[in-house]
Amino acid sequence: MVSNSVFKNTVLFLVLAIVSCGNSAIKHKDPKTYPTNEATTANRPKEPILTGADNFEKYQSLLSGKKIGIVTNPTSIVNYDGDKQKLSKPHHLVDFLLKNKLDVVKIFAPEHGFRGTADAGELIKDGKDTQTGLPIISLYGNNKKPKPEQLKQIDVMVFDLQDVGARFYTYISSLHYVMEACAEENIPLIVLDRPNPNGSIIDGPILEKEFTSFVGMHPIPVLHGMTIGEYARMINGEKWLKNGVQSQLEVIACTNYKRTMPYSLPVKPSPNLPNDQSINLYASLCLFEGTNVSMGRGTDKQFQIYGSPFLPKSDFSFTPGPNLGAKDPVHNGKVCYGEDLSGIPKVTNLQLKWLIKAFSETSDKKVFFNSFFSKLAGTQKLQQQIESGLPETAIRKSWEKGLNSFKKMRTAYLIYED
């Protein structure tokens, strides 16, 4: 006879199992069990990683008595006070600075907005923060670089955004324009550094100058293997700002951090990067943005799956639909066939095999790529190589010279050990 407690536990288990399988937009005919993607405890730091924002004692004096502008979004989280005591709950940096009687006068918001709810590429409008009453200036759309009048009455600018280490992730493009504007107006810039969750990966073709755009502003590979603070040092040191100006830059470094350490983001960096797996696969799957293939926008597995109506029917399918961060996703309402990568082991380089496979299997190769692909790749060569059937090993071989030069240049700006 089954006891009452066992019966209740069995029922609870079945209910949870049913709920966890309830997403009808993504379908598997032949479910597979994949190895987990959790970091081993052996690689975890003995002391907690503190971000630049957590090291308040290192930048408090730089802000005291100054009128402060801040480039920020929901990833600007503070967990420790100036005495290294953990806060009872995480604070947004803006709230934390105001709580410590510092004079924040203006917020600057990058792509996805201050609250982080806008679609990729969606126009962000100026406004006012409902919680603090502070004015919000958009740094996306037609106003990617702060204007001189928008910087009036600002004595110091703080930059605190969580990057993911990919050239086309536009927060580093916003960093460029903020550095340039501050340099031109003689305003010191403080970058509060944060770990790069893909910090040990350097891979992909180097951006060629003729493909410079907001999704690729500098001659670097797709995955650059630097924190945003290190990257700011490179922008300054290589004189990539307009007319060779240099920012009055101060980087507040992370502590207890090494580049090869696993780092799970406490807040998703943008609406379509909901977890560690999507962040790890982002650079590889984002190349699909330059094709007719969906990488899961409009599902709950963004940047963890790929597929399209033009690929052969298979055991895996999904149907994109409007959701937060994808109001009108590619192939909205259409059944897409492809692959589910949500459970595969962590990748350690830029993966081309899914892109190559999709191109080889698509129903009409002439309409597979669009004009955006070369901007994402930073070169026309990658599309030409794939179209010509060049093996992945040969494609990678063509990157070696550029990657070696970049790695040599990069060493001058590094803050952290591997």
CATH number, domain containing residue 164 = 3.40.50.12170
Q: Are residues 321 and 240 in the same domain?
A: no
For residue 21, tell me if it sits in a domain.
Answer: no
Contact yes or no for 248/183 (Cβ under 8 A): yes
Residue labelled with tokens 């755009």: 213
Give the mean pLDDT of 111-125: 52
Give the mean pLDDT of 59-77: 97
Q: Are residues 281 and 185 in the same domain?
A: no
Quick one: pLDDT band at residue 272, thresholds 50, 70, 90? very high
Q: Are residues 236 and 294 in the same domain?
A: no
Q: Are residues 258 and 294 in the same domain?
A: no
pLDDT at position 130: 80
Give the mean pLDDT of 357-372: 98
Q: Are residues 320 and 178 in the same domain?
A: no
Q: Are residues 94 and 233 in the same domain?
A: yes
Please write down the HEC assignment for all residues of the chain: CCCHHHHHHHHHHHHHHHHHCCCCCEEECCCCCCCCCCCCHHHCCCCCCECCCCCHHHCHHHHCCCEEEEEECCCCEEEECCCCCEEEEEEEHHHHHHHCCCEEEEEEECCCCCCCCCCCCCCCCCEECCCCCCEEEECCCCCCCCCHHHHCCCCEEEEECCCCCECCCCHHHHHHHHHHHHHHCCCCEEEECCCCCCCCCCECCCCCHHHCECCECCCCCCECCCCHHHHHHHHHHCCCCHHHCCCCEEEECCECCCCCCCCCCCCCCCCCCCCHHHHHHHHHHHHHHHECCECCCCCCCCCCEEEECCCCCCCEEECCCCECCECCCCCCCCCEEEEECCCCCCCCCCCCHHHHHHHHHCCCHHHCECCHHHHHHCCCHHHHHHHCCCCHHHHHHCCHHHHHHHHHHHHHHCCCCC
pLDDT at position 384: 98
For residues 76 and 6, which has the higher predicted lDDT (pLDDT)?
76
Q: Are residues 177 and 303 in the same domain?
A: no
Give the mean pLDDT of 207-224: 98
Model confidence at 116: pLDDT above 90: no
| Domain housing 152 | 56-263+408-413
Quick one: pLDDT band at residue 44, thresholds 50, 70, 90? low
Counting the structural domains of the chain, the total is 2
Q: Are residues 187 and 300 in the same domain?
A: no
Rounded distance between C-alpha atoms, residue 285 and residue 269, angstroms: 16
Model confidence at 124: pLDDT above 80: no
For residue 38, tell me if it sits in a domain.
Answer: no
For residue 104, tell me if it sits in a domain.
Answer: yes
Q: Are residues 69 and 199 in the same domain?
A: yes
Q: Are residues 228 and 87 in the same domain?
A: yes
Model confidence at 26: pLDDT above 70: no
For residue 45, tell me if it sits in a domain.
Answer: no
Contact yes or no for 176/241 (Cβ under 8 A): yes
Residue labelled with tokens 């937009």: 25
For residue 20, tell me if it sits in a domain.
Answer: no
The chain-wide mean pLDDT, for the chain, equals 89
